[in-house]
Structure 1
Amino acid sequence: MSSNSDSETYSLYPYHPSHVLPIVFAVLIGISLVMHIYQNFRYKFWTVTFWMSWGGTVFTVGWIARCISSYQTSNVNLYIVQTVFIYAGPPIYSASAYNILGRLLHYLPMHAPLHPNRVTIFFVYLGAAVESLTASGAARMATNTDSLSRYKSGGTLVSTALLLQAVIEAMVVSVIALVHYRASRAAHRPPPNVRKLCITLYGTSFLIIFRCICRAVESFTLYASIESCKQGDCSPILTHEWYLYSFEAAPMVLFTYWLNIMHPGRLLPRQKTRYLDLDCKTERLGPGWIDKRSLWQTVIDPFDMSGMISSKPNHESFWLWPEKWPAVVDGSFAQGTASNIQNSRSKPNERSESGHKMLPSQSNP
């Protein structure tokens, strides 16, 4: 917050905010948003990557609001909007990665360390907690610039949210690494689509972790120098705007474009029941993940620790009986011959090992 003299306009920013950079990033994020929407329609992949579109909308609105706010630096409402929306965008983006991981586990059920559906629920619920803390803290900071105690309390919420999100992303990376390790140790090496998706999820998760660490450093620096900052002697981290663009905007732009280039709709089937056989080539229509426990038990114990302790897993290993499940004949994502695009060219129906007619993948899940 600054006000150099009575003749100058009071500013909520400790620097002169750029008029150009916010609109540049708004355009970059907006272009990526349009690309995500187009690809979701093209691949019919809304159920998995809807959060990319929602996060892109929130993040774009935040940068547009910041651009307007840079011309009206004393407008509290604009300052609140840009602060809350810019902070809120990344946690929403992360929800898409959780959905993609869940769909990958459906595709590789033999390597899944926990119920694929519970992966999404578990991480999305944690992500919702992060989003709530972030929005609440950012709003409190933006609305209490003159109240040191309330400003600090808002910063505490934001810092907690940043650290929690970093921990969640580390857990996501751990699950990805475990699946990748199991697939690499199997009799057949993981196919290109699995390797590309794992690398994509590693990269996007590390971008989120990098963003959280840098934002946390900014937050803790604010605590350390808040008294001197009130007197106009702030740390360079707080008085130079490029930190925001380097450690908040840039990583998220890379995140969203990375998922555009490696859109999961190109690499995974839409159907949850379509899985990769143990030969890492054939894809079959199975029964989906079957867990013998009740819903609340799978939510409380998503990793099936009780089954691991008793050496009696509570899920059915349906992939061990491939002859029971028909192979799809419209190509294979593992071999790069299948597509989620409607009316894509399909191969003629054939016969499965058991003599039953092989089923083509359905156009609509």
Structure 2
Amino acid sequence: MAQLKPYRGGYYLWEYVPSLPAAIIFLILFVAATTFHFWKLHRTRAWFCLAFSLGGLFEVIGYIGRAAAHNATDSVIVYAIQNVFLLLGPTLFAATVYMTLGRIIRSVHAEKHSLVRINWLTKTFVMGDVVSFVVQGSASGLMATGDKAKLGSNIVVASLLIQVIMFGLFIVTSAVFEVRMRRSPPTEAFDQRINWISRVHTLYAVSALILIRSIFRVVEYAAGNDGYPLTHEWMLYVFDSVLMIICMIIWGIWYPGSLSRLIEPSQEIVTEEVAGIGLKGR
């Protein structure tokens, strides 16, 4: 029977024995979702969605680590693997979400409606995401060492706060874009292939789920090793695992793979086709 064992001396990596059934269930779910996303990526060649698929792969590795931890609560390697990959997976989801908004705006020729200059839109949010990714990745490793665990936890909280702030700004930017589009829609806004409203609402849904998850993680680490979130495993599954699998399902159903074809090789193609549709309808 699995037991909670100390890493060294009286220091415990875990506050509970990780549930093997829960880890296996979500491992299966994320394997299925990730496989589907890589298949969609292969079919559409929408390479800006690669980060999202890799995020799913990170989740898979993370839950393999949690499953292994059931019988290895004293293994610092297993603890670090599940901790690092489960922290970083949603950060990769966020990168694709950020890149998608810029493509939506370009596909409808609505650069003037963007709150942030279109040339800086993706760069600004993705750079914030990269900073959060790097900081979380380096700090989560420190959390596996007893003497630097508190420092690592504080750094992770700081990086998660960066992620929360960036997501808040991103949601505001998306909302402003939608309001301006409804007030003054360009011709391309009526192109049913683009369906920009549905795509923006998909961004809202996925962004909100990742934002809630990030806020939970901030609370989790800020509360410390003796806090309720880190001592009760169900909270991780409810406020992280479930939310992230829903993210993958939503993104998979409303996959933005066709956006690249609508804005490449030149945006004029979309304009000409929409104009042609309008002439035929007369």
Provide the C-alpha distance between the structure 1 equivalents of 2:96 and 2:31, rounded to a whole number of angstroms: 17
Q: Which runs of 5+ in 2 are unaligned?
A: none
Provide the C-alpha distance between the structure 1 equivalents of 2:135 and 2:44, rounded to a whole number of angstroms: 34
Structure with max Cα Rg: 1
* Contact 1:197 1:267 survives alignment (8 Å): no
- Give 1:102's aligned amino acid: G
- Seen in structure 2, the aligned counterparts of structure 1 residues 109 and 24 have a Cα distance that, compared at 3 Å, is same
Q: CA deviation at 1:267?
A: 6.1
* Contact 2:141 2:152 survives alignment (8 Å): yes
Q: Which residue of 1 aligns with 2:69?
A: 69
Q: Which residue of 2 aligns with 1:135?
A: 137
Residue 239 (structure 2) pairs with residue 239 (structure 1) = no
Q: Which residue of 1 aligns with 2:169?
A: 171
Instruction: Give me the TM-score of the superposition, normalised by structure 1.
Output: 0.67
- Seen in structure 2, the aligned counterparts of structure 1 residues 99 and 187 have a Cα distance that, compared at 3 Å, is closer
Alignment of 1:328-347 (within 5 A): 328=273
Q: CA deviation at 1:327?
A: 1.0
Provide the C-alpha distance between the structure 2 equivalents of 1:212 and 1:114, rounded to a whole number of angstroms: 23
* Contact 2:91 2:129 survives alignment (8 Å): yes
> Which of 154, 157, 162 is residue 156 of structure 1 equivalent to?
154
Q: Which residue of 1 aligns with 2:43?
A: 42
Q: Which runs of 5+ in 1 are unaligned?
A: 227-233, 276-283, 287-325, 336-349, 352-365
Provide the C-alpha distance between the structure 2 equivalents of 1:74 and 1:66, rounded to a whole number of angstroms: 13
- Give 1:239's aligned amino acid: T
**Number of positions where the alignment pairs a residue of Structure 1 with one of Structure 2:** 268
- Give 2:71's aligned amino acid: Y
Q: Which residue of 1 aligns with 2:109?
A: 109
* Contact 1:197 1:264 survives alignment (8 Å): yes
Provide the C-alpha distance between the structure 2 equivalents of 1:2 and 1:85, rounded to a whole number of angstroms: 22
* Contact 2:220 2:227 survives alignment (8 Å): no
Please list the CA deviations of residues 114-147 of structure 1 after superposition, one character each: whole Å capped at 9, or x if unmatched: 44343222211111100011111111011x13x2
Please list the CA deviations of residues 180-217 of structure 1 after superposition, one character each: whole Å capped at 9, or x if unmatched: 01111125795461111111101111111101111111
Give the fraction of aligned pairs with identical amino acids, expressed as a percent. 28
Q: Aligned-pair RMSD on alpha carbons?
A: 2.8
Please list the CA deviations of residues 256-280 of structure 1 after superposition, one character each: whole Å capped at 9, or x if unmatched: 11100100125663534555xxxxx
Instruction: Give me the TM-score of the superposition, normalised by structure 2.
Output: 0.86
Greater shift, 248-257 or 259-268, is seen at 259-268
- Seen in structure 2, the aligned counterparts of structure 1 residues 89 and 109 have a Cα distance that, compared at 3 Å, is same
* Larger proportion of helix: 2
